[in-house]
Amino acid sequence: MNKVKLYDTTLRDGAQSKGISFSLEDKLKIAKKLSEIGVHYIEGGWPGSNPKDISFFKEVQNLNLGKSKIAAFTSTRRANTKAEEDVSLRRSLESQAPVVTIFGKSWKLHITDVLKTTEEENLKMIEESVRFFKKHNKEVIYDAEHFFDGFKNSSSYALKTLKAAVKGGADCVVLCDTNGGALPSQIVSMTKKVKEEINCEVGIHTHNDNGMAVANSIIAVENGITHIQGTVNGLGERCGNADLITIIPNLQLKMGIKCLTDENLAKLTELSLYIDEIANLIPMNNQPFVGENAFAHKGGMHVDAVKKNTVTFEHINPVLVGNKRKILASELSGKSTIFLKAKEMGINLDEKDPKIINLLNKIKELEHAGYHFEAAEASFELLIKRNFAKYKKFFQVEGYDVHVYLQKNKLSSEATIRAKVDGQEEHTASLGDGPVDALTNALKKALIGFYPSLTDFELIDYKVRIINPEEGTAAKTRVLIQFRDHKSTWSTIGVSTNIIEASWEAVVDAIEYKLLKDQEEK
């Protein structure tokens, strides 16, 4: 086997994730992005289910999707209805999608309890629905819903449903683990039986309810499957679908099965982040291959080994999937960590420089005091550059004041700040939803005349943790704040017995980091 077809259902199955709602514009953008990396099939939705999907199939015709094919999703015809008269089938045909994916029942339980029809009628529904679209020259993919549960219940009947689809002219039959409960061994035995009896391309569609979606997809390919359905980042109902972002590099880099060009494989990290951004989700740091921590190294011995030979603690070169190596700083760090982090920043150090040991000791002291630099890379980068590079502060804060007051039964916050830039002082005040927001707004207001790029700067996440709760009201507070502009996101940290002071430290670092990056990019 040298190739597997990739079928993406992010726009339908992925959109069924709790808390996700793609707009029409979102769906069009995602379809375009998927086509750019070379996904073979892009399932756009169910034209018969809602006006948005009907509009999508109309608008997507205006996009250049290269070799990617758009698929419309629908069910088999209703029981005791002619295929030509079924509203859902007609709407899918009217969508003008070149590919139609039809799902039908494989499990007797669904035939009796859901469809309320007979086993024989179900077989006719499958065959006639497939034939309806083949008569109109469509490529037809048949999704055998609940196939593995149906096979456990009655293997002979489950196979009959596939044969009905093949008889109707299906181009591919897809075995669906709809409830997501199958084990790899069951996927193997049942797939082998299907391959023995079905003369047609066979695909796999798995859900992740038992955590096996990716493994089940991979093992299906090892047993002759040549069509894989899944979603970007494993989005989907309940526990999600098989994650194509994990499946693709496993197929290509581990099994030698070409799915994408090498150039497009290197866009996987970008694609993963792009979908999370549109879905308004925080990326999973521990996601295989593309997660921020996928190639992150923290322990001093690990870092030293990676410095000497990356294969020691990395199963692939992160560049192959568009990711990068990340050296984390913590009390576990060694000299190699400081050396490599500085090198990443363009600072070449002498490994014998005593300042490396001094900084390492300082980091350990700070982490003992409650700092947590592996979660605040921006603060750590500033720490290194303040110690090893020619670094000039962009501004100085002369003082600040923040008030929280009750007015008309509503809490309000107001901050005033005095700041200097190149000897010129600004005295500003600003309101905010809370004291940290007010301080951030006031500091931006004071600096924006000097640094207009701060208009593109916002706080997106704020985490507070009490480090030593046994100290009661004198306990230290650790504040981690995440910020972003149109190019990137970054996190900073502050620690103090006063939550306002800890937050302020993180805010100042965040703005310093933003200005430093803007300067370096000029």
Half-sphere exposure of 400 (CA within 13 A, CB side): 27
Region of residue 154 (left: phi > 0; alpha: psi -120 to 50; beta: else): beta
Q: Say whether pLDDT at 94 is over 90.
A: yes
Residues 6+ apart with CB under 8 A from 170: 130, 140, 141, 142, 200
Query: Which of 389, 440, 434 is closest to 419 using CA atoms?
Result: 440
How do residues 215-249 score in pLDDT, each as one tens digit?
999 999 999 999 999 999 999 999 999 999 999 99
Neighbouring-strand partners of residue 405: 412
Tell the residue number behind the tokens 């109707």, with chain if given: 168
Q: Is 312 helix (H, G, I), strand (E, B) or coil?
A: helix
Tokens 């086997």, residue located? 1
Q: Supply the mean pLDDT for the chain.
A: 90
Answer with the residue of higher pLDDT: 256 or 409.
256
What residue ranges of the chain are covered by domains with CATH 3.20.20.70? 12-279
User: How does residue 331 score in pLDDT terms, banded at 50, 70 and 90?
Assistant: very low
Least reliable range by pLDDT among 155-159, 262-266, 427-431, 432-436: 432-436
Q: What gap in Å lies between CA 274 and CA 156, rounded to an integer?
A: 44
Q: Range with the lowest mean pLDDT among 6-15, 195-204, 345-354?
A: 345-354
SS3 label, residue 107: coil
Question: Which residues neighbour 292 within 8 Å (Cβ) at sequence distance 6 or greater?
Answer: 283, 285, 326
**Between 335-344 and 354-368, two packed helices, what is the crossing angle to 10 degrees?**
100
Paired tokens of 194: 């299907």
pLDDT of amino acid 328: 60
Tallying the residues shown for the chain, one arrives at: 522
Indicate the pTM of the whole model: 0.70
Q: Where in the chain is the domain with CATH 3.30.160.270?
A: 396-520
Fold of the domain spanning 396-520:
Double Stranded RNA Binding Domain (3.30.160)
Give which of 15, 25, 418, 5 is closest to 221, Cα–Cα: 5
Query: Within 13 Å and on the Cβ side, how many CA atoms surround 47?
Result: 26
SS3 string of 39-50?
A: CCEEEEECCCCC
Highest mean predicted confidence (pLDDT) among 28-42, 355-369, 481-495: 28-42
Average pLDDT rounded to a whole number, residues 304-332: 76
Q: State yes or no: pLDDT of 157 exceeds 60.
A: yes
Q: What number is the average pLDDT over the span 284-313?
A: 78
Query: What's the confidence (pLDDT) of residue 380?
Result: 84
What pLDDT shows up at residue 451? Answer: 94
pLDDT score for 333: 52
Structure confidence at residue 311 (pLDDT)? 75
Q: What is the pLDDT of residue 476?
A: 85
User: What number of other Cβ atoms are within 10 A of residue 284's Cβ?
Assistant: 18
With a CB cutoff of 8 Å and minimum separation 6, the contacts of 148 are 175, 176, 177, 181, 182, 186, 187, 190
| In 312-409, beta strands by DSSP E | 326-327, 396-407
Instruction: Please give the pLDDT value at position 9.
Output: 98
Task: Provide the 8-state DSSP code for 3.
Answer: B
Cβ partners under 8 Å of residue 225, min gap 6: 4, 175, 191, 202, 203, 204, 217
Distance CA 458, CA 477 (A): 22
Residue 162 has pLDDT above 80, yes or no: yes
SS3 state of residue 291: coil
DSSP assignment string, 15-79:
GGSTT----HHHHHHHHHHHHHHT-SEEEEE-TTT-HHHHHHHHHGGGS--TT-EEEEEEEPPPT
Angle between helices 24-37 and 268-279 (to 10 degrees): 170
Q: How far apart are CA 173 and CA 200, in angstroms?
A: 7
pLDDT (0 to 100) of residue 334: 56
**Domain 12-279: which CATH class?**
alpha beta
**How much is the average pLDDT of 162-186?**
98
Q: 203: which strand partners? A: 174, 227
pLDDT single digits (tens) 408-447: 888 889 999 999 999 899 999 999 888 989 999 999 999 9
Confidence (pLDDT) at 268: 96
Measured between alpha carbons, how far is 464 from 499 in angstroms, rounded to an integer?
A: 8
Q: How confident is the model at residue 468 (pLDDT cuts 50, 70, 90)?
A: confident
Q: How many CB atoms lie within 10 A of CB 450?
A: 15
DSSP letter (8 states) at residue 369: T
CA–CA separation, 402 and 438 (whole Å): 8
C-alpha span between 167 and 169 (Å, rounded): 5
Q: How much is the average pLDDT of 110-139?
A: 97
Share above pLDDT 90 across residues of the chain, in percent, rounded to a whole number:
65
- The candidate with the shortest Cα–Cα distance to 337, out of 372, 297, 294, is 297
Pick the closest to residue 193 from 227, 147, 241, 140 (CA basis).
147
- 30-79 pLDDT tens trace: 999 999 999 999 999 999 778 899 999 999 999 999 999 999 999 999 99
Higher pLDDT, 48 or 124: 124
Q: Please give the pLDDT value at position 459.
A: 87
The C-alpha angle with vertex 217 and arms to 215 and 222, in degrees rounded to 5, equals: 90
